[in-house]
A and B are shown apart, each in its own frame.
Chain A
Amino acid sequence: MTRTRWRVVFGDRRGLFVCLLAALAATVGWRTTVTITDNYTVVNGLVALSEGHVVVREAVFGSSLQTPGMVSGQGGPVARNYAHIVLSLPALWLLQAIAAVADLTVALVGVWSLLLLATVVVAGDILDRARLARLAGSGVAVVAFVVGVTLATPLDQPHLALLAMQTTAVAVAGLSATLLCRLVALLHGERAGLAAGVALAIASPGVLWATIPKRHVLTAAFALATCYWLARSRTTGQSARRFHALAYVPVGLTAWLNAAEGLVLLAALVAVDLLTLPRLDVRRLALVAGAFICSLLPLVVTNLLVAGDPLTTPRMLPPYGPDGGGDIRFGGGSTGDGGSLPFAPLLTPVAEVLTPLRVFTGFLTDGLRAVVTAPEKLYHTFLRSGYVATQNTGSTGLAINLAFLEALPIAGALVALPVLAVRRARTLELAGIRASLATTARTADAFALGYAILITLVYIPRLPLHAMLTVRYVYPLFPLALYAVARLPAARVAVHEQATLLAFTYAGGVAIGGQLTVLVVVFAEYGASETLQAYALLALGLAALLAGWSVAAALGRHATRTGAVLFGLAGACASNVIGVFLFQFFAESFLLPFVPL
């Protein structure tokens, strides 16, 4: 790749670094097994597609085709989330090519070691320690490779489709970190961008979801891409028009993944776009409309192949088999993805364009009603999980589904946002609001806020739910929350002035906290539920401290060192929670031979 081409994707070394770091962290917990029962559906869907047909003819993974999310298309059972399936084809071909010339376990251990080397080398370049980083990186990479090859056992996979879908999701998780890094860097400079990207890469639930073949990491990446390109379209420059058109491309791709989430993205984008657009010329409108229509092509083609109708998405089709795929749960068995929204009104043949929109507005009104009539849903989804009873057998005796803040205590700092907003509003004249909204930062803010509200409204009627782990339906809120934290002036000051303290607190929190966790789990015989809920309470404590700190800072009482320590601890807490999920709750079938040690 030439010098300029990699910059198109990564921007600068920091964008590349967070991408590598995210991929490195996520692959530590890479498990070569089906995690949630609806994984069978998409993985078998990829097997079928790689053989040249949409209809899933054989359950290469699992024992039956009646898995959650498998639907009856024209000609037989078909899968869903086709964006993820089709985008995984290149990864599948790559893995098949590697397996043809090398032992795949050895090759993947090698790739991971080289990823480690690349991460250390790029970090060295950023910190101006290039020579040391090259030597040390080479050393640890060789050690990792030799140890890995020594311990390697054969991969037990019926097909490479599962690994391919995981590879795609890991790559997308890496690019998400890059997008967040570039978005924040665009508004507040490289250092703030780097901090936000690193937080997403190693201290957020992204580490967990990147190796589970589900749609959430992709949904978030598409939303981040729209946010970034929309912000770029508001900067002055020749390419503003091009970025404006680009911002609409992820809409079609998201709809290809999940139609409801595509509509959420479209609604948030259009609303913010109209509200903040400086001026509209015909060329710009034509370019934007063209990009949007092109982005819908994969969705339309897929719908035609799957359902025989361009407007019928896989999720609108009736479930395959008499039981409708059963229920979503971990490991084997079967489980209905909570992602399958109530499409009952759509089961009758539909050809109108308006019906999906009516269903969508139905979701939103359902969401509003749920928020008003059952506020405890918001409480359990965002604040405190504990044991939440559901009607589902997949959840028997588990309290492992954490609330948003328990999974991302850093977000506690966001409590200061209303305080800042009120203080800002006092100095703002009403007429100036629209002009103020049209700036790059405010456009991105408005999009992030609008998207967060809409995605919450769509999913809140179904939450809290089993098999969520970290409220995965609203997974895009995690990177958006990190963006919002990076918008807090006090948080940026902490990163700028006390970066070393923050980094060491984080590293200490993970190293010491991780070992303490292992000791407590072993000697006090904690189950996964108990460990996770203990961590949840710790996370809430840290979130409360961060909330107090950030409100104080918003009111003018700064304590930068305290902030850096709190951010470091909150980040370490989030990382350790992911560690508990991976090494205590799942605890098996790791791809890397030296994990867990």
Chain B
Amino acid sequence: MDIARAAPTAVVAIVVLTALVSGPATPLDFTPDATPCDGDVRAQVGNATVEVRSLPDRATLTQAGYGARVWTLSVPQAIVNVSDVDGRPALSYRIFIPDLGRQVGSRTVVSRCTTGRLSLAVGESTFDPDEVTPGEYNATVSVVYRGTDGGQQVERTLAERSITVVAEES
């Protein structure tokens, strides 16, 4: 038998058989839910001890080159220490720039798999070319905790800091 002739047929057979075996009628599951840490708890339900280790004192707005001209906000990460997690409480790391009228931030859900030192990022945020003028802007960064305590929603600002956002032309 010529291997080259048989090989494609064999591949088709392997794929079809594997797909059928993976089907709902068989006990085999090739795509297990990869989220055993989260349990069945919704985000922002649960509690944890969170200690904010560091917040940045400076962020930057950089103008893109090559004719793109848009401004990208870049905020250094906040470092927190998470312990004693129960459920899935959430941490929000935000920056508010009053003069630009914009608050941006991101939410991180913690679970018992994410204890210890954790870096929080604001996420990418962009501004129109004319929204920003080069110079300095006052801003506030904060880390906000959201969880539950005895069934009640709890929201606490864990740390807050006034910082300077420097906008510089590239």
Q: Footprint of B on A, CB under 8 Å?
A: 98, 100-103, 105-107, 110-111, 113-114, 117, 121, 130-132, 134-135, 137-139, 141-142, 145, 149, 152-155, 384-387, 389, 396-399, 525-527, 529-530, 532-534, 536-537
Contacts and interface: CB of A to CB of B under 8 A. Distances in A.
Interface in B95-142: 124-131
B22 A102 contact: yes
B1 interface: no
Given A114-B11, A137-B8, A103 B66 contact: no
Nearest to B127: A397
Contacts of A114: 11-12, 15
Contact of B31 (A117, A141, A152, A532): A152
Interface string B26-40: 000111111000000
Interface stretch (B46-54, B67-75, B150-158): B67-75
Contact of B18 (A110, A139, A389): A110
A137 B4 CA distance: 10
Given A386-B69, A530-B65, A534-B66, A113 B29 contact: no
A148 B18 CA distance: 12
B4 A529 contact: no
Question: In the complex, which of the residues B10, B15, B23, B29 has the most CB atoms of chain A within 10 Å of its own CB atom?
Answer: B15
Interface in B43-88: 64-72, 74
A399 B11 contact: no
A166 B126 CA distance: 30
A139 B3 CA distance: 12
A520 B167 CA distance: 22
A121 B7 CA distance: 11
Contact of A102 (B20, B33, B68): B20
B23 A102 contact: yes
Interface of B: 3-5, 7-8, 10-12, 14-16, 18-20, 22-25, 29-34, 64-72, 74, 124-131
18 contacts: A101-B20, A101-B24, A103-B22, A106-B30, A121-B8, A130-B4, A131-B4, A134-B5, A134-B7, A138-B11, A141-B11, A387-B129, A398-B70, A399-B70, A529-B126, A530-B72, A532-B68, A534-B65
A137 B15 CA distance: 14
A117 B15 CA distance: 12
Contacts of A397: 70-72, 125-128, 131
Q: Is the interface of A mostly helix, strand, loop or mixed?
A: helix
A105 B14 CA distance: 16
A460 to B, nearest CB: 21
Given A399-B64, A530-B65, A536-B67, A113 B15 contact: yes
Contacts of B65: 530, 533-534
A587 to B, nearest CB: 11
A103 B70 contact: no
A110 B71 CA distance: 43
A186 B18 CA distance: 42
Given A102-B22, A106-B18, A153-B34, 15 more contacts: A98-B19, A103-B31, A105-B30, A117-B11, A134-B4, A139-B7, A145-B14, A387-B67, A387-B69, A389-B130, A397-B70, A397-B127, A398-B126, A399-B68, A530-B65
B23 A113 contact: no
A529 B68 contact: yes
Contacts of A142: 11, 14
B71 A103 contact: no
A138 B126 contact: no
Contact of A399 (B20, B34, B67): B67
Chain A CB count within 10 A is highest, among B20, B22, B74, for B22
A583 B70 CA distance: 20
Contacts of A134: 4-5, 7-8
A153 B4 CA distance: 33
Contacts of A131: 4
Contacts of B131: 397
Greatest chain A CB density within 10 A among B10, B129, B130 is at B129
Contacts of B74: 525
A465 to B, nearest CB: 15
A101 B64 contact: no
B30 A100 contact: no
Contacts of A132: 4
Contacts of B30: 103, 105-106, 149, 152
A100 B25 CA distance: 9
